[in-house]
């Protein structure tokens, strides 16, 4: 594209095309991608720590961990990751949708015994509400897809926050690789 200020690439920030600007943009996107992967690994490790410990000690203080506290910590860490790496409404919406839908996509695998959550962390029963009562439309569909006992399928309540982080990670990597694919003369 051509504008009053020179030539521009088509991307979110309308980046001017000159060699130095392209190098700076490439470096910034690469650094964000590295930070995204690193922070996502940290977030996933944090989720493991929160799920496998009843309390954490910080100095002389001991903090008890329960499902609500763990979820709050994970949501806060995800928000910080998003704010540092992206801060766009579209990325927030994509990561939030994935945070809700991603764990639900695990249900067929849990129902068919491909994996399970350790009992201490299986604190979220997404198919146990009134919507999924036996004999109802949603309940009948769930029973056909997931089998009987779908009401007892349990996930970890913080699984969604890991999906959020991985989505933020994927967006940062996607931007970096997309920018790399644009020829220098465009």
Closest CA to 159 of 113, 108, 84, 104: 104
Q: Give the model's confidence band at 6: pLDDT under 50 very low, under 70 low, under 90 confident, else very high.
A: very low
Positive/negative CA dihedral, 162, 167, 173, 177: positive
pLDDT above 60: residue 13: no
CA R_g for the chain: 21
Closest CA to 32 of 75, 99, 93, 91: 91
Q: What is the pTM of this model?
A: 0.78
Once rounded to an integer, what is the mean pLDDT over residues 45-64?
92
Question: How many beta carbons lie within 10 A of that of residue 73, not counting itself?
Answer: 19
Give the contacts of 169 (CB within 8 A, at least 6 positions apart): 36, 37, 39, 40
Q: What is the pLDDT of residues 66-121, one digit of tens each?
A: 989 999 999 999 999 999 999 999 999 999 999 999 998 888 888 888 988 877 77
């Amino acid at each position: 594209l051509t504008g009053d200020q020179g030539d521009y690439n088509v991307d979110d920030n309308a980046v001017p095309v000159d060699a130095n600007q392209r190098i700076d943009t490439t470096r910034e996107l690469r650094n964000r991608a590295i930070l995204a992967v690193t922070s996502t690994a940290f977030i996933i490790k944090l989720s493991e720590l929160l799920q496998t410990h009843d309390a954490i000690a910080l100095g002389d203080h001991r903090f008890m961990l329960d499902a609500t506290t763990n979820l709050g910590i994970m949501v806060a860490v995800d928000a910080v990751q998003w704010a540092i790496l992206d801060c766009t409404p579209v990325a927030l919406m994509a990561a939030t949708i994935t945070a809700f839908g991603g764990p639900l996509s695990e249900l067929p695998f849990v129902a068919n015994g491909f994996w399970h959550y350790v009992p201490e962390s299986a604190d979220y029963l997404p198919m146990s509400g009134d919507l999924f009562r036996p004999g109802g439309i949603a309940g009948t569909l769930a029973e056909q897809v997931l089998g009987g006992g779908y009401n007892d399928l349990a996930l970890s309540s913080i699984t969604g926050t890991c999906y959020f982080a991985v989505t933020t990670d994927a967006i940062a990597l996607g931007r970096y690789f997309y920018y790399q694919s644009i020829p220098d003369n465009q």
